[in-house]
Amino acid sequence: MKKVWKMFFAAMFALLMSIPTFAAGRLSVQIGNFTSFKETPNGVLISADNAKLSLTVYGPEVVRVRATQGDFSDLPSYAVIGQPTGKFTSVKDESDKLVLSTGELTVEVNKNPIIVRFYNKDGKLLNEDEKGLGISWLGTGTTCYKKLQPDERFIGLGEKTGNLDRRGSAYEDWNTDHYGYPDNADPLYTSLPFYIGLHNNLSYGIFFDNTYKATFNFGASNNRFSSFGAVDGEMNYYFFGGNSVAELLKEYTGLTGRMKMPPMWGLGFQQCRWSYFPDTEVLNLARTFREKKIPADVIYLDIHYMDAYKVFTWNKERFPNPSAMIDSLKDMGFHVVTIVDPGVKKEKGYRAYESGLKNDCFVKYPDGINWAADVWPGTCNFPDFTNPKVRTWWGDLYKGLVSDGVTGFWNDMNEPASWGNMVPNLVEFDMEGHKGTMEEAHNIYGMQMARSTYEGAAKLMNGKRPLVLTRAAYAGVQRYSAIWTGDNVASDDHMLLASRLINSMGLAGVPFVGADIGGFTGKTTPDLFARWLSIATYTPFFRSHSEYNSRAHEPWTFGEDVEAISRKYINERYQMLPYIYSAFDEAHETGMPIARSLAINYTFDKNIYNPDFQDEYLFGPSILVAPVSSKQMFERVYLPEGSWYRKSTGKKYDGGQSVIVDAPLSDLPVFVKASAIIPMQSTVQNTAQKGDGILRLHIYSGSRPNKYLYYEDDGTTYQYQDGHFLRREFVFDPAAKKITIGKAEGNYTSKFNKIEIVLHGFDGMNSVKVGRKTMNLQKGEGNTQTLTLDAGKGETVLSW
């Protein structure tokens, strides 16, 4: 009998062993309960059941939050250049929580379980973790869940489609080559993981500094939480507690860096095409601009200027003498920008490839073999821009282009992109000596390429400022490069989307941004081009571009009417350069973008988030732009509180309402804020021309006082960093009936020797006092009065 039972049990065991088994499902792990803490030089380190939590003070309103289940990484951030300053001024260990104060922020750490809350100095709740979820891990992935506040809005996150208010949407950060992307596509080319939360007349910012593939959920399909997380790496974010959107941008760009002053010529009109060749076509293009009196400063050379698409080469048949061609273009007032992709062709005898091999500069598989992929030149290796040695090597490769006279460099295909768009995640990078894989390096690849380009070109150009343009980027890219919004489509929807993308990039700390005028791919109609160019006149980066074998996008190719409209708006752009350049100075000093979402100045006006009005924005501090479809000749425009003047007609409107205005192709709805001060100049054909020497100071009558900080420098060198600039404050004080031209500061001598005051809306005024002298006003264009004064450097006061 025993034998029978043994046989039975043996058979049952064999049967059970033959049944497939299933491992227990992977569950999330929360940070758990508080166990202990200790103070650190700039904050506190907290131990919990399942992880460690670090809080570090980077400023009175900036606190870094890190959490890990293992050891904290010592890899330096590619985005952050700020350092911790100070510490918590008060640390209270209470029975149920830690209470930490910076003086401006209070951070409460609930103990069981650990939940982090942020309050402003008035004790108002800014942001808190969602209690049941908090900081969590799922495998190697980490996510922070935040409690949604009633009626909370979210703005920012950079190059993301969708609405200005991100509430109800989710996004992914994974830089992607997305040719002809739909107007609801995500992700796109850049990862700028900074956003701003708004509720109860309060604002805060969060920057999630993790370069792995990241996701953001702003209450998508739930009313419980917003969240941000990544597939690997630390939970590492910075919390900003500023009192306004402008203050948050100043704090964020103080942490991640601000742009240097661009070359003045980089703000002019720029003509691009895939591709202009041979050299005779390029020269004829330049001559046509000059003959037609259409201002322009830049011509781009796309991939066909190269020998078989190999970077840092010239096609000797199409461009037999590039330096002579560039000299001729310089004589006509043009700068040349050349495209440079990251792929280096595997070809014996090719200098860039051979030097890259010799210096061990390429990304590798784990077995030491260089990773290769196919792009324009064929099979290529790719530089490891996370290695300082490689960045120096790459920067030095620009020597030939610089010596030929090239002054701008366009980094494309740097997501990185290749045919098939599939990079093995296991390929390895140096990561500043810390070693990592493509999963960690992917989102910073384009930014580090732009860094290598900028640092190399700046070193080679003998003190002159280069223009660098990149497609792919990560937070902090503003220190090195401008960005354009990639391979967009010739459609009204894309034209309107471009405004939101540009404004959202500004809300993520990147001010020098633009989109391809007319659309890169697709069929551009004359009406669409005319409208798009009129809107782009009021964007920081101003470039027309189109793809190979498409309709040409030069302003005169759409007929005489469009040519006239284009000339009008490009002239206007050049007239506004003093205003635009001063806005770039503000971006350089404070991080304030040039194209400004209305959410910056009118944060809690619910109308600006209405999809009918969310494309509107301020260009600089005082000009409101209302983008309009090319198919509409009338538009309903929302004007925020205050009074506004139609720029083209001088008609005055009361704000706080929507108005129906006419919008022919020749007259985009653009408005100027009452009390605004707008410095302008005469029309010039390129930025190197001095013009008539008169700075025209347009002042719009209003009931509120206003100050404007005007800026000027040589526009080409870095001498402004040593005081070689001019700043002066212009003040309009309607209560005192006074206009003050402040004393000039800095040691730069202005190119303007006269200042013409142009008064808008000052009806019935015939004269003003300049000091004690009464001077008569002259009749100007439209309903304006003018007065011309010597510029001087001292203070001048006008009164009436």
Active site residues: 412, 415, 487
> Can you read off the two tokens belonging to residue 644?
């506004």
Cβ atoms of 390 and 354 within 8 Å: the answer is no
> Can you read off the two tokens belonging to residue 590?
């404070």
What is the H or E stretch that residue 653 is in? strand 652-654
Cβ atoms of 740 and 747 within 8 Å: the answer is no
Cβ atoms of 379 and 347 within 8 Å: the answer is no
Neighbours of 275 (CB within 10 A): 18
> Can you read off the two tokens belonging to residue 406?
């090239």
Rg over CA atoms, the chain: 29
Cβ atoms of 361 and 388 within 8 Å: the answer is no
Cβ atoms of 186 and 225 within 8 Å: the answer is no
CA-nearest of 111, 151, 141 to 129 is 111
Cα separation of 177 and 442, whole Å?
Answer: 12
CA-nearest of 418, 443, 412, 411 to 429 is 443
> Can you read off the two tokens belonging to residue 100?
């930490």
Cα separation of 35 and 461, whole Å?
Answer: 57
Q: Residue ranges of the alpha helices (H) in 546-667?
A: 560-575, 577-590, 598-601
Largest CA distance in the chain: 128
Q: ∠ CA 33-38-44 to the nearest 5 degrees?
A: 85
Per the listing, tokens 């260990």 go with 93
Cβ atoms of 417 and 375 within 8 Å: the answer is yes
Three-class SS of residue 634?
A: strand
Cα separation of 114 and 160, whole Å?
Answer: 32
Q: What secondary structure does DSSP assign to 64-128, as a single string?
A: EEEEESSPPP-PPPSS------S--SEEEE-SSEEEEE-SSEEEEEETTTTEEEEEETTS-EEEE
CA-nearest of 587, 657, 671, 588 to 622 is 671
Span between the terminal Cα atoms of the chain, in Å: 121
Task: Strand 105-110: give its sheet, edge to edge.
Answer: 90-93, 97-101, 105-110, 115-120, 125-128
281-312 burial, b for 16+ CB within 10 Å, e for fewer?
ebbebbeebeeeebbbbbbbbbbbbbbebbbb
> Can you read off the two tokens belonging to residue 78?
């590619």
Cβ atoms of 300 and 337 within 8 Å: the answer is yes
Residues constituting the chain: 800
Amino acid at 473: A
